[in-house]
Chain A
Amino acid sequence: MKILVAVKRVVDYNVKVRVKSDNSGVDIANVKMSMNPFDEIAVEEAVRLKEAGIVTEIIVVSAGPTQCQETLRTALAIGADRAILVESDADLQPLAVAKILKALTDKEQAQMVILGKQAIDDDSNQTGQMLAALLDIPQATFASKVVIAEGKATVTREVDGGLETIALTLPAVITTDLRLNEPRYVTLPNIMKAKKKTLESVKPEELGVDIAPRLKTLKVEEPPKRTAGVMVADVAALVEKLKNEAKVI
């Protein structure tokens, strides 16, 4: 079974971004970029399925600028077999990315697509669901456990009240939550090996996909700042403040 994994290059999760002074966006020049953490979990899950003998080939895809090659190389070092970069400097919104991934899923005849549930830059949480809709196949979002057997994926999902389990007929789309697995560290030999793996580059127009953005960002601003509070000396002082100043208890 062939599996497609989508990865996004984002500002590293440890970086606290700053809003540009002209309010046109956030300043991402010279900040550390990494693979979206949820996508790293997706790559790891695919590799584990391959190690278990369920998956035969892992194709990792990223859409974005040339630098996404680094992200793809990381995925190859974790254990993906080959990579496709859909190269574009345009503002690629979730619907456009879903259309790109649909074209590639069709082309590669992948039986499963795994992606992160959400990218930590735009926090949209849409692409996997949109891809499933465009392919007209079932979806399991926020996965914390995936079992593949007899043409079905049985997926445990993190939902508001706890966990729920659903069964999907393959092909299907799965999006990962935090506790699906703990991605392995990439080792130097695997980084070297990854350099020899195929990394193909295509343009969105070669896939016949309309990537025109639908949403226009008018401005980006700093959130309202919380004013620093006070330190209290002890529990008695805290109780006094909560009762008489904040009046919340």
Chain B
Amino acid sequence: MAALISLVIAEHDNQSLKATTLNAVAAALQISSEVDILVAGNGADGVAQAAGQIAGVRKVIQVDSPALADQLAEPLAAQILSIAKNYSHILAPATANGKNVLPRVAAKLDVAQLSDITRVVSPDTFERPIYAGNAIATVQSADSIKVITVRTTGFDPVAATGGLATIEKQSGDAAASNTSSSSFVGRELTKSDRPELTAAKIIVSGGRGLGSGEKYQEVVVPLADALGAALGASRAAVDAGYVPNDYQVGQTGKIVAPQLYVAVGISGAIQHLAGMKDSKVIVAINKDPEAPIFSVADYGLVADLFTAVPELTKALS
């Protein structure tokens, strides 16, 4: 059998390395002891430095090119493909970026992708949730290179420091020659001083029970402030326009597993439960005692959220 060497695609915004990279490295280290990280960006020296300090990493490959500034799928996939043959496993966190680019890499290599793995059984066998997490499949890949996205909640992050990886700079020619078909136009990111949803220790999430975006601000936000929590929402609340799309927790939104998840006015559709049921402690506050959210909650409170949540906020402030 060929040597097992993994490549992890770093998640970053050219400024900072995202914590989800640490979960992907954790998965990679369960596959092989040799793990390299690709930092493909533009002016991402700081990111490469940070990646080099991740515990257990052998080498950081840094590629700097204007073509990689916005993580467009076409140049980024081309850059990954230029070194893919050196690896037995190529992994990325199952973020919007990872999901966007890795299937493109897999198809070009003519291999399958394993999406959203939650456990490494062996170097060719993995567990992954299907049907919104209502079943866990154990799948084995016969392909020469395994292309994998990692569900970050399935793996505890490795330490961000303590590593002594070398940083090797490589040319961005592969990316630069793949920029003709797509271009970046603009970005509208939700501004927030809060912890990122997928990395937060505590999340307060609001649902349709709130009735409006104003009530979300009035009721959910102060509780999140009191707890130092990230803000989340159900699909219903996002569809109704209470909060931006990136707040959505669920099967097709963000998958989270914080220490504490507080669900406010969320009924608990299976698609929502799929995104948060691995949280350590779940609190549900809902006026409907039959709401399915109570079936996964450690602590349920049947109450009018408009009085109970402010009371809770006050008790915690």
Contact = CB atoms under 8 A, between A and B. Distances in A.
A241 B311 CA distance: 15
A120 B190 contact: no
B211 to A, nearest CB: 20
A159 B96 contact: yes
A235 interface: yes
A226 B271 CA distance: 16
**Which of B99, B141, B315 has the most C-beta atoms of chain A within 10 angstroms of its own C-beta?**
B99
B246 A161 contact: yes
A108 to B, nearest CB: 20
B301 A162 contact: no
- Number of chain A interface residues as a range: 35 or more
A248 B259 contact: yes
Contact of A167 (B135, B185, B303): B185
B78 to A, nearest CB: 10
Contacts of A16: 134, 270
- Number of chain B interface residues as a range: 35 or more
A242 B259 CA distance: 11
Contact of B129 (A132, A157, A223, A230): A223
A138 B135 contact: no
A195 to B, nearest CB: 32
A95 B137 contact: no
A220 B140 contact: no
B83 interface: no
Given A124-B115, A178-B239, A214-B141, A166 B296 contact: no
Interface in B127-180: 129-143, 180
Interface stretch (A54-62, A139-147, A185-193, A196-204): A139-147
A244 interface: no
A165 B238 CA distance: 19
Contact of A220 (B136, B182, B296): B136
Given A154-B185, A218-B140, A235-B303, 9 more contacts: A132-B73, A133-B105, A137-B181, A139-B182, A159-B96, A166-B184, A179-B239, A223-B129, A238-B301
16 contacts: A38-B252, A93-B112, A94-B113, A123-B116, A133-B77, A134-B107, A138-B74, A139-B74, A142-B100, A178-B238, A215-B139, A215-B141, A221-B135, A235-B301, A235-B303, A249-B260
Interface of B: 70, 72-74, 77, 95-97, 99-108, 110-116, 125, 129-143, 180-190, 198, 202, 227, 235, 238-239, 244-246, 251-252, 254, 259-260, 270-271, 277, 280-283, 294-303, 308, 311-312, 315-316
Give 7 nearest A-B pairs by CB, closest first.
Answer: A129-B103, A130-B107, A214-B112, A229-B298, A133-B107, A126-B103, A138-B181
